[in-house]
Amino acid sequence: MSGSAFHQTVRRGEVRAHARAAPVRSADIQCFDSVPLLLEAELDALYQHLNASFRHHAFRDRAHGARAYVARGEDGPLAIFLFHIERKRLRVLNEMVEIPAEEIERFARYAFERFPAISTISFSLIGSQVGPLPLPFQQHGHSEDIVVSLPASPEAYLASLGSKTRHNIRHQLKALARDCPQLQFVTLEGEDIQPQQVRELLTLKHSNTDDKGIAFGISPEETAWLVDEACGNGLLLLALEDGRIRGGSLSLRLGDHYFAHVVAYAPAFASYSLGMLCCYLAMQEKIARKAKEAHLSWGRQPYKFKLGGVQRDMANLDIYRSRFAYWRHAPRLATHAAAGYTDSAKRALLDSEQGRGRLAALARSVIGVMRAMKRAAYRTKQTDVLR
């Protein structure tokens, strides 16, 4: 698709009272009524995250009717945002990426001038460290992207893990080789992946979530999308026994980054930590393919941190045209603030779980009880539905 473009050059501006100066790097700005095809590759190259890619938004049905903003510097794009305008709110589609405060400010200044009817600009789950902004804003909601920075060799990656994790990985691999000699690990990539293999792994994942009393969060539409993506950009590691899938890990590639989507294992292999072993072996395969980062998605499961994951915090960001517009949304601000206090307490408890000592042990006990209650409530709900 190609769209008409509006051009403007933004250069150094005056300092506002009690505000930071305008963005100091000059940029040529373009605004398109639809997303040009050539912009899709630039979007991938700039942010290198699947959740900011055009194909992700197309699957989520967000790309339809989207507009595009581009700020170009001397060396290429500084920012690319896809967005919708919904009455008085502009919603940016890019997610799970770090955006410099300078580019957020540049976009806000431009958008409020270009679209005088809007009163609010909303970013969804971007890096939480945005710094000071010259306009009223509120951060709310929370998620995370757990990311492993990959070294140059599989040996260096193994050496970077904790001694207990290294011991457990070696021990479990030896135990599998001894107890299950027919089990073998196979790695498939792109067009070598069969759609049925992806579906079988998802079925296994569904079984895992049912056993844990957790709702299965992958819809039939997302299943179809994952199958298509896997056969084009996927890395599938399978644990096979006599041709049957006993476990596996599916990741999608974008540039030199991989994004984990599915990890599953047969319950009979739970004592071998087969799910974690599949993740570890998949890391080795990613390193062999010169990947720089492996994204393990949101959710603070302990195995992600054992495998070297580092948490990158994300939050929603609402920017308001003026203080009047800010306070006109007082009920919304209050709702977000109240939810924020609850979320902060929950995150503090989860952070304590990763530590050591008596406090961490107590936190793990409390979290274990809370998770058990949540799973029991889910099973009761499912039972009532079946009746």
Strand blocks (E) in the chain: 5-10, 27-32, 67-73, 76-86, 89-92, 120-127, 137-149, 183-189, 234-241, 244-254, 257-265, 293-295, 310-320
| pLDDT tens digit sequence for 327-373 | 988 888 888 888 877 777 666 666 665 666 666 666 566 656 655 66
Given this model, what pLDDT does residue 213 score? 73
pLDDT at 361: 61
340 exposure class (CB count in 10 Å sphere: 0-12, 13-18, 19+):
middle
pLDDT at 336: 85
**CA-to-CA distance for 127 and 144, rounded, in angstroms?**
9
pLDDT for residue 11: 32
How many residues make up the chain in this entry?
387
Percentages (nearest 5) of helix, strand, coil residues in the chain: 45, 25, 25
Is there a contact between 279 and 261 (Cβ–Cβ < 8 Å)?
no
What is residue 94's predicted lDDT score, i.e. its pLDDT? 93
User: Which fold is adopted by the domain 5-142+313-328?
Assistant: Aminopeptidase (3.40.630)
pLDDT tens-digit series, residues 279-329: 999 999 999 999 999 999 888 889 999 999 999 999 999 999 999 998 988
Quote the CA–CA distance of 139 and 318 in Å, as a whole number: 6
Closest residue by Cα to residue 49 from 99, 96, 103? 96
User: Could you give the CA distance from residue 331 to residue 352 in angstroms, rounded to a whole number?
Assistant: 32
**Could you write out the three-class secondary structure of 136-151?**
CEEEEEEEEEEEEECC
Neighbours of 272 (CB within 10 A): 21
**136: amino acid identity, one letter:** P
Contacts of 2 (CB under 8 A, 6+ apart): 32, 34, 36, 37
According to the model, what pLDDT value does residue 208 have?
87
Instruction: Report the predicted TM-score, pTM, of the whole model to 2 decimal places.
Output: 0.82
For CATH 3.40.630.30, the residue range(s) in the chain are 151-291
Provide CATH code, domain 151-291.
3.40.630.30
pLDDT lower than 70: segments of the chain: 1-24, 60, 345-387
